[in-house]
A and B are shown apart, each in its own frame.
Chain A
Amino acid sequence: MTYVIVGNGVASVGAIEGIRKLDKEGRIIVVSEENTPTYGRPLISYFLAGKIGLDRMSLRPDDYYEKNNIELKLGSRVTALDPGKKTITLASGESLGYDKLLLATGGIPFMPPIKGLEGSGIYNFTTLAHAETLIQLSQAIRKVVVIGGGLIGLKAAEGLFDNGLSVTIVELAPRVLSAAFDDVAGKLVSNRLENEGLHIRCGNTVEEVLRGDNGDVVGVRLTNGDVLECEAVVVAIGVVPSLCPAKEAGLNIRRGIKVDDYLQTSAADVYAAGDAAEAYDMIMDDARVTPIWPNAYSQGYYAGMNMTEKKKEKHPGGLAMNAIAFYGMATASLGLVNPAPEDGCDVFTYVDEERQAYRKLVFRNDKLIGYVLVGDIDFAGLYTGFVRFQLPLTDEVKQDLKDGQPSALLWPEHDFETRWTPECE
């Protein structure tokens, strides 16, 4: 059996581990455009901020590929896929045959149509290379504008600020973090960032990137007409699935590469996982692109197991989750956190201004389906259990959760007995 994995992110690592769990012999070839062994992509913000060095970037030990008997083709982009002939073509023109293929191509930064965006002085923040570029940039400039007040944008802004730059975040929504978190959490976080000295402009976006005579960035003009001076712009509005070579090969695509419960695409023997895939989400009860790390790993892992044909395991479904900390303020958000009125959810919120703590719980049909925590996140995992296992809640249990007292003893007896005893897995 020859397995080919396109991409070398965490979904790829998950797949290697899934395959090797069941198949120690098969040939595994990993082809990736990026030129490094798998690193913790989210770590690039720690790297940018100078909190960790390059030595701590890699996700697995140095001998990982050797131990797992992996053939690595780094720095090679896959340009074409022929599901009929079961081959892929690399940019070099080389062609590789596979028995099973995994597309773990991840995401690419979304670039909005903004005037003046083409040209120098525009950066992204999704790869280690980007981080290295921004570190160098920090030596040369003083002012930067970050477009996007989501997780990546804020992390980029924080890192650049820590490098001594004056940073302004421009966010279209009325609050930062409003998608993955919510308004209140966004407010607490932006207060925090502003206290540290970052500038935040919400309800606004960049209409035009202003350039000097030599084409260098000199500032941006916002929709309200304000002009912010800057020497560089970082675009961090999010990522979109990287669809090459899936699209050209005619695989079924909506936003991402559509996969079934077993992570198989519309083409036989071709699987997809991670930021590139559009897979079932357990809370939304529908297919989604959820570009987060744990989903990427676990989809990769299940895809890997299923590719061996030794086991057919249904993926339990993705679960959106984000934990992120800013200058000591910890936040966590999981599941559905901003339900629409028609979702029929019961939403509980609690704010402790003094302690800068916030708790939001989203219930649907007597189950917990999402939460946001700011400040006190120590119980996050206990809330997660209720979402992950969709444990039924009595009124009494609901109250304890609302009171900020989740506990394993609130689990239904049967769930406690079976799930807490590990041999039942």
Chain B
Amino acid sequence: MLFKPISQNFNDFVIDRDKERCINCEVCVRQCSYEAHFWDDARQCVMHDNTKCVGCHRCEALCPTGCLTIKKNPADFRDNALWTPTYMKHIYKQGDTGGILLSGMGSPSAKPIYWDNLQLDASQVTNPSIDPLREPMELRTYLGSKPDKVEVEETPEGPRLKTKIGPQIKLEYPMMFSAMSFGSINFNLHKAMAMAATELGIVYNTGEGGLHPTLYKYGANTIVQVASGRFGVHKDYLNAGAAIEIKVGQGAKPGIGGHLPGEKIDEEVSKTRMVPVGSDAISPAPHHDIYSIEDLLQLIYALKEATEYRVPVSVKIAAVHNAPAIASGIVRAGADIVVLDGFRGGTGAAPTMIRDNVGIPVELALAQVDNRLRDEGIRNWASLVVAGGTRCSADVIKAIALGADAVYIATSALVAVGCTLCGRCYTGKCPWGIATNEARLKKRQNPEIAAKRLTNLVKAWGHEIQEMLGGMGLNSIESLRGNRDKLRGIGLNEVELDILGVKHAGR
């Protein structure tokens, strides 16, 4: 194309418009925030520029005649197992710009997804399966530190728990909406998550962008996050939620901080984050007051003091090489919940190289952390939560069988409200109105609709989890937790089976 660098001319997608059906209504023109469709005055019809398409499928979804198909560009480079088009295009782009490559959403790279190599068990003749439609099936989950032993005393009214149990988060489903900061996604979705979490009896996480004043009323279903930038953190904020989470690392970009570009900081974001309008909000890579487990301990207890020990404190780390040792340290430092975020975890923006090459699969980290905490006899001190790439209820139930208490869902929540994983969150032009604060785009998410869809998703997964539990002859999620005997591996080698602590499917 004229006036365009080659990196753009090797476009990823082609827009196929069926002229038989197109009525030139310009719905696509108005929907595409990348201006790939346009009204062509000369030809008096709607036209398009393939090089601008990011493959978000918004136009296709809204085209009232269904005449659009967004296709992969069939133009092939010569086959080369090493030099795939992805790498070549990266290089063209960097040749053009000299800048680092940026990406949005979790890593799409073709690396093992262990969930797919794990199969669940089901009861047959003995220990018969349970029908969740007829029998009670417990999904309720409590997150927080559990005592080493419990003492019960007899009272005239019956037995009573004598042991004092620390603060817990009560979940009606073993799922939570993961941290996505206000700013990276917009207010409408924060509101939707808050509404859905309240309706479902679960919690959502504010992310590191603070909590909008109008959302304080959903506090009982909110986890407030404290990250290295400390945006929007103050006493009321800390006391607003059902738990506090210290974010140390993020699966999509372990080892680096965050950068919310000034364009995304509007009036509301500015107020909530407590940063000036239009200025970049930079989260440093480390917390500048945490250089050791002891420092972390201090922060955990500072937060507990600030909230008078009313709420549990969680610590979130990226799943990296020494996760088990780190997790053990975190638990010993007083965390009530440890969150492991795998390398498939989503992000609003991450350097592509880091996203695709740093960190380890969360399945492996989870199994190892669970093992380590058990071995040290401190597994009950903290709950374990995994995040990063949970695509379906089977992934959730497998995570729980591997040792998790609950999972965080983020990408699947976004997909539920329309995200097509086009991966251009960092542009701030999300055509689905998700990763954007632009007034004309963010209203594409109507919180009423989004909340309904999120609620539907979690309820649907809940039903499926109940079915699968019933199939295994279990009547509560509690009975599955860390019960790896309910899992078998296929297509895994000895080492992988050993790390995951599961038998091969043939055994």
Indicate if A touches B (C-beta under 8 A): no
> Which A residues lie at the B interface, using CB under 8 A?
none
